[in-house]
Structure 1
Amino acid sequence: MAQLGANTSVEAETLSHVLSLMQAFQAFDSDNDGCINEAELAGIMGSLGYKITDQEVRAMMSQADTNRDGQLSLAEYLELNTKDMEPGSLATLLKSAFESIDADGDDVITGEELFQAMRDMGVGGFSFESCQQIISSMDGDGDGAVTSQELKLLIDALL
């Protein structure tokens, strides 16, 4: 398995943050359609302790919904929640992480590989099931794994 890079602890922390965001996205996507709608966004904000009006929810949605389809995709959600990160550094991290996590070098990441990589990096808080769900949320063709091409589509959406 490849190493993430010279500053592995920072990269592992950043990867953990991005994966936690993906986990949260799935938790808040209550109808499991792969998007967050206004009602789900209001629920997110309420669960975080914010008292927010419908107008504020619409404004947040309008700001984050870059393709104007009335819903937040995973890419839009990640973009909203990683604005403080340099886009190039996030893309580099995700590419490097993909190579590191792809233990068998077949250009595909499974939930099992993600789970093992997180354990190997000492990143806690991710069960095997949550790793499977994270992979599922990024899996464009429904085969249960993420290819480098599917990751590239996510990275392109974030840039």
Structure 2
Amino acid sequence: LYSIMSTAEQLSEEELALYKAAFGIFDRDSDGSITAAELGSVMRSLGRHPSDAEIKEMINEVDEDDNGSVDLSEFLTLMLRKTSDADAEEEIRETFRVFDRDEDGYLSVKELRHVMSCLGEEVSEVEAVKMLLTAKAKNGGESGSVSNSEELLVSFDEFRALATGQNWP
């Protein structure tokens, strides 16, 4: 009960009501837990579309009693984490939009230097090139050097990989 209360306190009343209702609808046998298949249905009803592997991973993340299913407390914990992940994704997307001054969907050396300068960080062209090359390399793009720094552009996916630490060695 304490676990439900501490998790529930971190959700708005609307979120809590929505998640409890979704849980209740998909707990078809009313045993107080939902299976992996039921969790997939819940997630889709909430506008998310995880793969089967992602659903298994979600269950493993919160399944405190290791029974292979998710009870209400575990479900609320999962929803709290996924909401936080969505917020982080939106924050990264908004940061990218701020950096992408010409709104072409890519960050250039010039744009990166401008934003860093506005943040009080003076970055040389060489440093900006290195930062963008790192972003590309971390997302499976080509690293190395470029003949003209104006040719170097980083996509949102490459920026997100750098910002979240994905694909880091």
- TM-score class, shorter-chain normalisation, is 0.3 to 0.5
Larger radius of gyration: 2
TM-score by length of 1: 0.47
1 or 2 for the larger relative contact order (CA 8 Å, sep ≥6)?
A: 1
